[in-house]
Amino acid sequence: MRLGRWRCIGMRFLFLTLIAFACFESGTPVNGGWELSGHLALEEEEQCTVDRRANLTYAEFIHQYAFSRPVILQRLTNNSLFQDLCSKEKLLAEFGDFRIRLSTANTYSYQKVDLSFQEYVEQLLEPQDPKSLGNDTLYFFGDNNFTEWGGLFQHYSPPPFRLLGTKAAYSFGIAGVGSGVPFHWHGPGYSEVIFGRKRWFLYPPEKRPDFHPNKTTLTWLRDTYPALPITERPLQCTVQAGEVLYFPDRWWHATLNLDTSVFISTFLG
């Protein structure tokens, strides 16, 4: 197991090196200019337990996943233009003065704070303090002003698969290394990582996880997860930039951003 873990770390290092070289050649900053894992050095899971599917058909999606289990979708859409527009430099230039609404990074997210996008990026978008509670951590996700941000969202291509009787609604976000949202549930939807990496933990509706709604996912991973029996551990996987995770209706899920991450969800309501 240890050998396999070091092999994964080595492959991750090689992957980042190749990305850095490609970005240097093209003039594009690594991770769009957003900070990578830094001193927290958060790790991916030893084994992804969520199916990854490329070139999935709609019939396969409906019969195998839509109502029963999550899946990571690959190569269904091309969002390279949207990704380019979501670089740190371009978002600050276009939206820096716009007001955004932040929510607390806990299960219920009752508290809201408004400030400029530039203030959020320059003052609050920092690695998660492991000692902080979720209700003391502010998180930019959702509550988007579609009048002001519509010019960006029109360039996003959502996953093409829909569920009968639902409409799609976007929620866009940017969050720092080590941040995330603790376990919660809602209706079905998709979450695409534009920049960074986002680790997901998922339980089916009937299996309520052991967690505290005001403690961060980082704290849960450090304090609760190691003591869980193998049979009680969640499905988990790290979604990479360009991948889309589909979560079915009422599935419990928590997230942990391994890098500063830019992401967009498409909720099916």
Q: Is residue 53 part of a domain?
A: yes
Question: Would residue 28 count as lying in a domain?
Answer: no
CATH number of the domain within which 149 lies: 2.60.120.650
Q: Is residue 40 part of a domain?
A: yes
Give the chain as a 3 state SS string: CHHHHHHHHHHHHHHHHHHHHHHHHHCCCHHHHCCCCHHHCCCCCCCCCCEEEECCCHHHHHHHCCCCCCEEEECCCCCHHHHHHCCHHHHHHHHCCCEEEEEECCCCCCCEEEEEHHHHHHHHCCCCCCCCCHHHCEEEECCCCHHHHHHHHCCCCCCCCCCCCCCEEEEEEEECCCCCCCCECCCCEEEEEEECEEEEEEECCCCCCCCCCCCCHHHHHHHCHHHCCHHHCCEEEEEECCCEEEECCCCEEEEEECCCEEEEEEEEC
Residue 27 lies inside a defined structural domain of this protein: no
Length of the chain: 269
* Residues spanned by the domain of 234: 34-268
The verdict on residue 219 lying in a domain is yes
pLDDT 10s per residue in the chain (269 long)? 444 444 444 444 444 444 444 444 445 688 999 998 777 779 999 999 999 999 999 999 999 999 999 999 999 999 999 999 999 999 999 999 999 999 887 777 668 899 999 999 999 998 888 878 767 788 899 989 989 999 999 999 999 999 999 999 999 999 999 999 999 999 999 999 999 999 999 999 999 999 998 899 999 999 999 999 999 999 999 999 999 999 999 999 999 999 999 999 999 99
Is residue 128 in a domain?
yes
Sequence-separated contacts (24+) of 168-171 with Cβ below 8 Å: 168/266, 168/267, 168/268, 169/266, 169/267, 169/269, 170/144, 170/146, 170/264, 170/265, 170/266, 170/267, 171/141, 171/142, 171/144, 171/264, 171/265, 171/267
Single pTM value for the model: 0.88
Q: How far apart are CA 150 and CA 101, in angstroms?
A: 16
Tell me, yes or no, whether 20 lies in a domain. no
Q: How many domains does the chain have?
A: 1
